[in-house]
Amino acid sequence: MAMLLPIEHLSLLLMLACLSASALSIVFSLTYLYYLRSHHGEVKSNAVLLMALTGSAPQLEKLIAQLNVQIIKPVKLLVGVESSDDPAYKRLLEVVHLANFPIEIALAGFATQSSQKCHNLIAAAKLIGDKNEHIVMLDGDIMPPQWWLAALLKPLETDQFDIVSGYRWQQAQTSNIAAALITCLDRYTALLPRPIAASILWGGSLAMRREIFDAILKSKLLETTLSDDLSIASFAAVSHYRVLNRRILLVPTRAPQGFTAAWRFGVRQYKIIKNYRPGLWWFAFGISSLKVIGWIVLFYQSLDSTLYRHALITVVAVALLKAQFDVEISKKLNFNEPAFQRLNQFLLALFKPAADLFSLSMLIASSSARRVTWGHVSYFIETQSRIRILRRESLSQNRLP
């Protein structure tokens, strides 16, 4: 009996840890919702948009249409693509006439010491010109609301901050359960606090003063890195720039379709985190492992214990409440989410153990983090600023955006 006591204590601790983690997720969501404010006020600043693009770019027409109706009209959109053989180049030529602002295309060539994305961004940056507009980096799979550009630029215009970032708010485009799964997991991350010390930025929506962008280019930071945003975040921390992860800038982003694409997306993201923010990776791994072990304990102990059954019901109920808060956040931001997406989010809340196990599997797969496949290129990360190209597949085989 004496030997069972430590196990009983451990089970109780794991139960309390599960309840605490669930309670924290609600606190984060409720806090985010409570302090969320709509964008308001006039913004007079100008901005040049900078984007790296590759592959079939299925959302490109929609992105152009959404940029056309921004409160602030972009000065121009500069797009870096690998070569004229990249399907993205043909897609750009097909849609350039749809934009009510200029679009210029830079052919970057093959990256040799950095990610192809960073290489493409550098090529596009050479087209910026001499005017002192702000610089906004964006991803090709975002679906920005009308206030997106104004919300990015306002803290720069008022001279409160030097760099402003948002974060993706994944949106499933079909009823595909895999897209709903990665949406569920990534939205949890989107609502977490982002202390300045964590040094986190998101390149999908990232605005900065022109002189800061020029300093980044001059440092040759992007020429030898895999991650544009985390490297810029490190540069900003060292340079003591004022950085804002703005709460309103949850930007709808197309979720990967299919389990394979969703899993690869998650593994790649975790690998980049492990290389550039190892402390955050270990924190995520510890929390995810604790959740999965906690679920096992709750299910096992609930067979014979009323206390554990109540705890299990509570954790599931909290997951359902968290899904409802996500719906409310989308409503407050005027994001029109289809009914199937809301239904899938509630279904996944009922099967939260499967989602947590999926997350842990991605973390385990990312533990060997030196080799990263991103789109059609495989890289080996020797250090944060030393990258080798291992393999480059045909662009027709491009698997990821």
Give the pLDDT confidence of 326-341 residue by residue, as tens digits: 999 999 998 888 888 8
309 CA to centre of own chain: 35
Token duo for residue 384: 């944060």
Alpha helices in 160-258 (DSSP H): 177-190, 210-218, 228-239
pLDDT of residue 69: 96
Parse the chain into domains and list their residue ranges: 40-260
Token duo for residue 305: 């214990």
Cα–Cα dist 393/374, whole Å: 11
Nearest to 343 by CA among 230, 183, 202: 183
Cβ atoms of residues 61 and 254 within 8 Å: no
Token duo for residue 45: 């600043």
Cα–Cα dist 69/4, whole Å: 65
pLDDT of residue 37: 82
Cβ atoms of residues 388 and 380 within 8 Å: yes
Pairing of strands 386-392, 377-383: antiparallel
pLDDT of residue 3: 44
* DSSP class of 180: H
Detail the DSSP E strand segments found in 225-376.
Answer: 243-254, 371-374
In this prediction, the residues of the chain whose per-residue pLDDT falls under 70 are: 1-7, 396-401
Token duo for residue 227: 């991650």
pLDDT of residue 394: 81
CA angle 158, 163, 164 (to 5 degrees): 80
Q: Dihedral sign, CA of 88, 206, 48, 217?
A: negative
Q: Could you give the angle at which helices 116-125 and 210-218 cross, rounded to 10 degrees?
A: 120
- CB count, 10 Å around CB of 6? 9
Cα–Cα dist 38/299, whole Å: 42
Contacts of 103 (CB under 8 A, 6+ apart): 76, 77, 78, 79, 92, 96
Contacts of 120 (CB under 8 A, 6+ apart): 52, 53, 54, 80, 81, 82, 106, 108, 111
pTM attached to this predicted model = 0.92
Q: Please identify, in words, the CATH class of the domain defined by 40-260.
A: alpha beta
Cα–Cα dist 14/310, whole Å: 14
pLDDT of residue 396: 60
Residue 314's SS3 state is helix
pLDDT of residue 148: 96
Cβ atoms of residues 224 and 114 within 8 Å: yes
Long-range contacts of 384-389 (CB under 8 A, 24+ apart): 384/225, 384/231, 384/234, 384/275, 384/276, 385/221, 385/224, 385/225, 385/231, 386/113, 386/224, 387/113, 387/114, 387/115, 387/224, 387/225, 387/226, 389/110, 389/111, 389/112
